[in-house]
A and B are shown apart, each in its own frame.
Chain A
Amino acid sequence: MKIGVFICHCGSNIAATVDVLKVVESAKSMPEVVYAVNSMYTCSEPGQQAIEEAIKERGLTGVVVASCTPRMHEPTFRRTVERAGLNRYMFEMANIREHVSWVGKDKAANTAKAVDLVRMAVEKLRLDKVLIPKFIPATRKVLVIGGGVAGIQAALDCAEGGMDVVMVESEPSIGGKMSKLDKTFPTVDCSSCVLGPRMVDVAQNERIELHAYSEIASISGYVGNFDVTIRKKATYVDWDKCTGCGLCTEKCPSKKSYDRFNEGMGETTAINIPFPQAIPKKATITAASCRLLSGGKCGVCAKICTSQAVDYTQKDREITVKVGAVVAATGYDLMDWTVYGEYGAGRYPDVITSLQYERLLSASGPTGGHIRRPSDGREPKEVVFIQCVGSRDPSVGRPYCSGFCCMYTAKQAILTKDHIPDSRSYVFYMDIRSPGKGYDEFTRRAQEEYKAQYIRGRVSTVYPKGDKLVVKGVDTLVGEQVELEADLVVLAVGGEASQNAPKLAEKLRISYDGYGFFMEGHPKLKPVETNTAGVYLAGSCQGLKDIPSSVAQGSAAAAKVLGLLSKDKLESDPQTAGVDVKRCVGCRKCINVCPFGAIREVDMRGQIKAEVIEAVCQGCGLCTATCPQGAVQLSHFTDNQVLAEVEALCQS
């Protein structure tokens, strides 16, 4: 083997704390290294050209680049060596930036560590083998999970690009949180006027197959070939027959069902269509509230329905679909604010959440768009908004900023004045965070034009006094205690990942952070990709964001899907596991640990052996770590390769 080693300065990123030339000198004496050189920016065009030229002129058969993290540039350099005629797996990278120069200041120690890492890379490279990818057919269909504004955008853009779409929404209607909003910042245009037509587009688009009131039961397979099982929850109404006329909802005698769509601000019937613009506009029975389904006698809805759509015997159903890519757009939920005892922990009816307030503001809401206090139906005159409830508060495990609350609180203060001109709004805030086009101007308008009184400080307690609520807080700008008597208190409750996000992430085999938000592939360069090929993210499931950003991500995810599935065959990664049948004793340990079900048992002349299904294997390496006799090996990361690296490290 003829190995070439290229040590990168990364400008001064590496060179400032690593003696690059010394590393070059050491590399020259490593086994099979015939060429070693430094490079200012190896990833730049001249840097890559130098590699290509060295391969051609010196007949290199393997290349080591010592520079930054392989997560970033391994693909870059693999392409470089490939252009010069080498197999892309005859390349190794040593990370002497993130692992060395950025984490240590001692130049001598750093240099020694960089030499070690280069030696490890050389030793591994010496055992590298040429690997050839295979091509696998892909299904040109995408699954969009979650029908909020982000999912809707992704679905419509994919369909527009000629892709078949399957959308799965857990609620009876798509629309997500945006469908519950009254008006939206910063334009204060009507939410349903903007979103409604897009929801109709989803229903009418022939390429989009919508499964509302459904969830992902399981998902298996791999990029290009996912097998998805969708559980369609029983609605007790045959949606093929239901016309959405709503007669049943008028006649249902059980009128005290929790109104999910209205965030509990009203009550609804057991059989119900969540809101007038619902897509699909179909009735669903909440079994727990239904007199008949909870064991009693009724059957009114079945009698009244002119299309005989009601079916009390309906059961959950499972269907399977095959898709080539997945977009997760499951949005967010509000955190459980009742952990705040100081705000009454949910005991005072007139302390409500921002989302509940949206329902009170909305013309399609339980009060017909008239703001009325939940306790006595009276119109409030003094409204206090408390921001950062469950945001930026490490004491409740929520250190992050929810991002949109400053803006929607300003919006709600403006709308309050619009609805009740003689009302006064007070906003307790920590900081006003309003970066964005026209956003700061918007919060200023709330204060200057709409006379909302902003008080910088936290609220220490809220308690009832007569039919009012006393809000005690501090104004940190003036340095004084403040005490207000409010008719209504609106909490700007922070968001968190939607309730089942971690479970879904596990089904999708994507990572999630400590709050349940899905992890993007790279915070800057892969914002809508995940580390699982073929799975993309859109909207606030990745981190809280407002509607414009959610929509932008929906489009971005669609662009990624369209790009991925623009070819009908996908290259498979050859870094998969394989079983040496001579060594395998058929103990099945690998089969039990493989998280992807990629290993099966085969009978080989009466003996049990394991066999890897290459297309399913994700190269995670769990099987190799488990197999005691090392019969299953992961290409490009064989035991011998890893041992060679360890050996190189231990010998220095």
Chain B
Amino acid sequence: MAIHEQLKKIILDTLPGVECVIGWGPGQDALHGSPVFMRKPEDVDSFMDTPLGAFGAVNNLALFLPELSGKKVGVVVKGCDSRSIVQLVAEKLIKREEVVIIGFPCEGAADLTKIEKALPEGREAGEVTGAAIVGETLKLSLGSEEISLGLADIKADKCTRCKTPGAVISDAFAGIAGKAPEVRDEYADLAALEAMSLDERFKFWEREMSRCIRCYACRNACPLCVCRDHCVAGSRSPHWITQTDSTRDKLMFQIIHATHLAGRCTGCGECQRACPAGIPVLLLKRTFNRGVAEIFGYDAGMDTEATPPLLTFQVEEAHIKEREWQ
């Protein structure tokens, strides 16, 4: 049985005990999918009923869990999504017993920006009339035109460094989890940025952030940004940022977002994926993630029992030897 058929069966079995099961379904066009909230057995029909199938399961559905807390819900997860859940549980933002986690052996998810870039000059994703995955390629039809793209070239960057393609925790699993791949995140994406002088780097960010339209899609897509309506971005007291259209205020917001996610961000990349302006906001978060790993030996979203290093108080940190005098 194909993975998505197996998943459907699990979802049907799960439905009676939960408020709903969150999964992926069709979206506005052949390429885009969107979350579906399945409450009744007939809702399950639309699950992964898309040309891209599991490869199009891009949304991190953990996003919806904090708001649904208090109710029991099921959720289908890629490996990276499961890390968000682990982190939410570790921070006690959701209760483990309130979620039924359904995993599957993820083989990577699409990066729609990469696909759009690969389209012929002047063509847009919305013009794609048909899509199908054949072996290791994605075949697209734009009217009469046919193009095919190698899956490896349009896979999200995060997938290339993913060490948890199967869920970190799950209550049900479709198929067999493969062996965890031997990958090491070298933070190669940060190298180019860090090769710049401070001045160049600042200019880089000013240029990037000048496109920001302050839609806060980045924040709203982040499964760990649980402040939602109470975000400092929109508050006068405290008045961390003004509402003026200044690049510095926009950058300030990104820095605040990155700081608030330090030691919590699992690198799911939803913030960057959601940004309509294509700003590489994940770089800031990944800089912190690397630092947290180096200083505290902590990797967010791997252990529900772990204490996030910045959400505790220790007179002496195990990894920071302040008082070594012997």
Contact = CB atoms under 8 A, between A and B. Distances in A.
Interface of A: 397, 502, 506, 514-515, 583-585, 587-589, 592-595, 622, 626, 628-631, 633, 638-640, 643
Contacts of B226: 585, 587
Given A588-B92, A643-B238, A643-B239, A626 B323 contact: no
A117 B260 CA distance: 29
Nearest to A580: B237
B238 A639 contact: yes
Contact of B312 (A593, A628, A629): A593
Contact of A585 (B228, B238, B323, B326): B228
Given A629-B227, A629-B235, A639 B311 contact: no
B227 A640 contact: no
B325 A630 contact: no
A592 B312 contact: yes
A124 B264 CA distance: 32
Interface-centre pick from B91, B92, B238, B326 (highest chain A CB count, 10 A): B238
A595 B232 contact: no
Given A595-B313, A630-B232, A397 B325 contact: yes
Given A397-B326, A630-B240, A639-B240, A583 B230 contact: yes
Given A587-B91, A593-B312, A629 B325 contact: no
A16 to B, nearest CB: 36
Contacts of B228: 585
Contacts of B313: 592-595, 622
A361 to B, nearest CB: 32
Interface residues of B, number: 24
A640 B239 contact: yes
A207 B310 CA distance: 45
Nearest to B323: A514
A594 B260 CA distance: 17
A432 to B, nearest CB: 28
B49 to A, nearest CB: 36
B320 interface: no
Contact of A593 (B92, B231, B311, B315): B311
Given A514-B323, A587-B226, A643-B240, A626 B310 contact: yes
Interface in B8-27: none
A502 B326 CA distance: 15
Nearest to A336: B326
B132 to A, nearest CB: 43
A220 to B, nearest CB: 14
The 10 closest A-B pairs by CB, nearest first: A639-B238, A630-B238, A628-B260, A629-B227, A629-B230, A595-B313, A506-B315, A593-B313, A592-B311, A397-B325
B172 interface: no
B326 A640 contact: no
B93 interface: yes
Contacts of B240: 630, 639, 643
B232 A629 contact: yes
Contacts of A514: 323, 325
A592 B311 CA distance: 6
22 contacts: A397-B325, A397-B326, A514-B325, A584-B230, A585-B227, A585-B228, A587-B91, A587-B226, A588-B92, A592-B307, A592-B312, A593-B312, A593-B313, A628-B231, A628-B232, A629-B227, A629-B232, A630-B238, A633-B238, A640-B238, A640-B239, A643-B238
A583 B235 contact: yes
B93 A587 contact: yes
Given A506-B315, A587-B91, A587-B93, 17 more contacts: A585-B227, A589-B91, A592-B311, A592-B312, A592-B313, A593-B311, A595-B315, A622-B313, A626-B310, A628-B227, A629-B227, A629-B230, A630-B238, A630-B240, A633-B238, A640-B237, A643-B239
A633 B315 CA distance: 22
A643 B311 CA distance: 23
Interface in B289-314: 307, 310-313
A78 B202 CA distance: 43
Contacts of A589: 91, 311
Contacts of B307: 592
Contacts of B232: 628-630
Contacts of A643: 238-240
Contacts of B235: 583, 629-630
Contacts of A585: 226-228, 230
A622 B315 CA distance: 12
A600 to B, nearest CB: 15
Contact of A638 (B231, B238, B323, B325): B238
Contacts of A629: 227, 230-232, 235
A495 to B, nearest CB: 15
A177 B86 CA distance: 53
Interface string B255-291: 0000010000000000000000000000000000000
A531 B306 CA distance: 33
Contacts of A592: 307, 311-313
B325 A515 contact: yes
Contacts of B237: 630, 640
A626 B311 contact: yes
A629 B236 CA distance: 11
Contacts of A633: 238
B236 to A, nearest CB: 9
A592 B92 CA distance: 11
A631 B312 contact: no
A643 B232 CA distance: 13
Contacts of B326: 397
A638 B238 CA distance: 8
A631 B230 contact: yes
Contacts of B231: 628-629
Contacts of A638: 238
Nearest to B256: A628
Interface in B209-265: 226-228, 230-232, 235, 237-240, 260
A348 B68 CA distance: 72
Contacts of B239: 639-640, 643
Nearest to A507: B315
Nearest to A628: B260
Contacts of B315: 506, 595
Nearest to A647: B239
A603 B239 CA distance: 27
A639 B311 CA distance: 19
Contacts of A628: 227, 231-232, 260
Nearest to A582: B230
Interface-centre pick from A589, A638, A639 (highest chain B CB count, 10 A): A589
A373 to B, nearest CB: 32
Contacts of A583: 230, 235
A515 B315 CA distance: 16
Interface string B74-98: 0000000000000000011100000
A519 to B, nearest CB: 13
A479 B68 CA distance: 84
Contacts of B311: 589, 592-593, 626
A397 B239 CA distance: 48
A515 B323 CA distance: 9
Contacts of A593: 311-313
A446 B76 CA distance: 85
A296 to B, nearest CB: 38
A616 B234 CA distance: 32
B223 to A, nearest CB: 13
A585 B325 CA distance: 43
A628 B91 CA distance: 14
A639 B249 CA distance: 16
A514 B323 CA distance: 6
Contacts of A506: 315
Interface-centre pick from A592, A595, A633 (highest chain B CB count, 10 A): A592
A1 B227 CA distance: 35
A465 B227 CA distance: 76
A275 B315 CA distance: 38
A629 B226 CA distance: 10
A506 B227 CA distance: 33
